[in-house]
Structure 1
Amino acid sequence: MPYSVVTGDLFSAHDAPGHPESQARLDAALAGVPVDARRIAPERATPKDLALVHTPRHIDSIRMFCRECPPGRACYLDPDTYVTSRSFDAVLYAVGAAWQAVERALAGEHCFALVRPPGHHAIPDRAMGFCLFNNVAVATAKALLSVDRVAVVDWDLHHGNGTQAAFYTSDRVLYCSVHLAGIFPGTGWPEERGAGPGAGYTVNAPLEGGSTGADYTLVFDEVFVPVLRRFDPDVVVVSAGQDALFDDPLGSIRLLPEDFGALAGMLVDATPAALALVLEGGYGRSHAGAIGAIVAALDGPHFEPAGGGAKASTRHLVEAYAGGRHAVPL
């Protein structure tokens, strides 16, 4: 299956040098994209697209906060999350690029939107955790206007509370997240399974610090891949945050770059649907290597899943899903 990447220099309009989520980290990640990769320029989303997930009040407040921010400065919404005078336009391109990735995947082509700012923490009425609007959630909601089912797999170090919240009561979106337990935003426990028609369509796998590729492989093999196959989505969207790398300054998971290639390969093999990947976190020096491994998995032979033993806590989590204590009734 062919692949492409959506990226460009438009995201530098949202930048605070020295902040972990700055243009420098995207520039570093892009070093992992092969020079011969097909690159597509981002297209701008509209406020109407944002309104598929976000409240009008939230959209207007971010637009006004950006407008009031003095040029050349970063203005903070909270201690972690900033805007600049040009951030609203930049984030519209990030959302638009996420949709382009989904659109290309629906056409049968793997696509990776390498964008910023990230999005998976943004809830319908609030920005947080470096995120202004939820790129993946908006693209997923837009896809649901024309297809029946979308699966979202989130392997960022942090739980994607915003994406979970957007689809918590829907049986048309399967949300699977593997993340470090107990850190920001404090959500993502197995008991969070969805509600109403969406009960069972949220699958959370919080892992202990120090977990490795063996733990992630076990979760994917025994929980995520089987439920993906039963769900049979029209497209698989990946919240691709690589801050679970061993050298990431914000985390304590021990994944190697090639582990992300293995995870991507497992998703490629899980369903006939193409993958639409959207960049979330990732701040370590080996981020480019992980991007390269992911793209390689889209383009050809896959990395072998990590060997070795998973943690006892991961085995117990997987056994709880297998034993029905955290049932997924699909």
Structure 2
Amino acid sequence: MSYSIVTGDLFAGHDAPGHPESQARLDAALAGVPAGARRMAPEQATPTDLARVHTHRHIESIRSLCRECPPGRVRYLDPDTYVTRQSFDAALYAAGGAILAVERALEGEHSFALVRPPGHHAEPDRAMGFCLFNNAAVAAARALREVDRVAILDWDLHHGNGTEKAFYTSDRVLYCSVHEAGLFPRTGRPDERGAGPGTGYTINAPLEAGSTGADYALIFSEVFIPALRRFEPDLVVVSAGQDALFDDPLGLILLHPEDFGVLTGMLADAGRASLALVLEGGYGRSHAEAVAAICAALGGARFMPGGSRPKESARLLVEAYAGAGLTVSA
């Protein structure tokens, strides 16, 4: 099977050496992309693209803050999130990369946008958690001009509060997130299910520290994939943060690189829609190996889940969703 990698030398201007979210971590991740993989460079997203998710005030605020930042300096918006003079342009390329990955998926080809800064914490009116604009949400919102339904599957270590907020009242977007319970931004509880027409179209699976690939595979097979099949999306966007790896410094989930190959294969086989993956977090030494496993699965390889057993807490979460009855429908 063919797939494409969307990336380029476009993001280095947004950089704070020593910060977890730096150009060095993207360079390290790219080492996992096979040499023969087709690479495509994105164009910048437009302010109109951003405005489908973000307020004009937020867009202009980021633009102004970057313009006012002295050359060669870093300005912090909060203790975690920074900008440089080039960050606005880099963020437009990151959102544009997500859009290009979605376009490739809509044409029937799996695609992985390896871009930065990441996006899933960025809310409509706020930058946070290393994120300036919500790349996956911007790409999904643009796709909704052409298709009826989009599913967003977020396997980043942290809950994607920004993505959830962007589509919380929509029945055209199914948002599924698996994440470590209790971490930043301390959202993503199971009782966050959507509101209004979107009630039931947000599915959160917070897992306890020490969870493994067996727990993730259980959540996917028993909760997320059945919901995807009922929803019948025209497109599946994956907020692909590999910071749930066992050696990632920011969390206590114990996935191994091949587990991301397992999850990718499960999603690829779950329905007719091609996958558009968009890089979120991932800061550990084995990140490149996880990227390699994802690429292998996009190319048709399939990985067998490891031999460990799911935790009782994961089983109870699955049982709770089964008892509640998921309301997702096409």
Supply the RMSD in Å over aligned alpha carbons.
0.7
The correspondence of residues 131-146 of structure 1 with structure 2, limited to 5 A, is: 131-146=131-146
8 Å contact kept, 1:101–1:112: yes
Distance 2:213 2:96 in 1: 32
**1:70 maps to which residue?**
70
8 Å contact kept, 2:230–2:328: no
**1:287 maps to which residue?**
287
**1:39 maps to which residue?**
39
**1:5 maps to which residue?**
5
Runs (5+) with no aligned partner, structure 1: none
One-letter identity of the residue aligned with 1:104? R
SS in structure 2 at match of 1:5 = strand
**1:255 maps to which residue?**
255
8 Å contact kept, 2:140–2:150: yes
Distance 2:295 2:185 in 1: 29
Distance 1:60 1:8 in 2: 25
Query: Deviation of residue 300 (structure 1)?
Result: 1.6
One-letter identity of the residue aligned with 1:106? L
**2:152 maps to which residue?**
152
Per-residue CA distance 1:51-93 (angstroms, 9 max, x = gap): 0100000000000000111111110000000000010001000
**1:199 maps to which residue?**
199
SS in structure 2 at match of 1:11 = coil
Distance 1:30 1:302 in 2: 21
**1:327 maps to which residue?**
326
Per-residue CA distance 1:106-125 (angstroms, 9 max, x = gap): 00000000000000000000
**1:111 maps to which residue?**
111
Q: List structure 1 segments (4+ residues) > 6 angstroms apart after TM superposition.
A: none
**2:215 maps to which residue?**
215
Length-normalised TM-score, structure 1? 0.99
Distance 1:48 1:174 in 2: 23
Runs (5+) with no aligned partner, structure 2: none
Query: Deviation of residue 328 (structure 1)?
Result: 3.2
One-letter identity of the residue aligned with 1:39? R
8 Å contact kept, 1:74–1:83: yes
Query: Deviation of residue 225 (structure 1)?
Result: 0.6
Aligned length: 329
The correspondence of residues 4-23 of structure 1 with structure 2, limited to 5 A, is: 4-23=4-23
Length-normalised TM-score, structure 2? 0.99
Between 99-108 and 298-307, report the one with greater CA deviation: 298-307
One-letter identity of the residue aligned with 2:175? Y
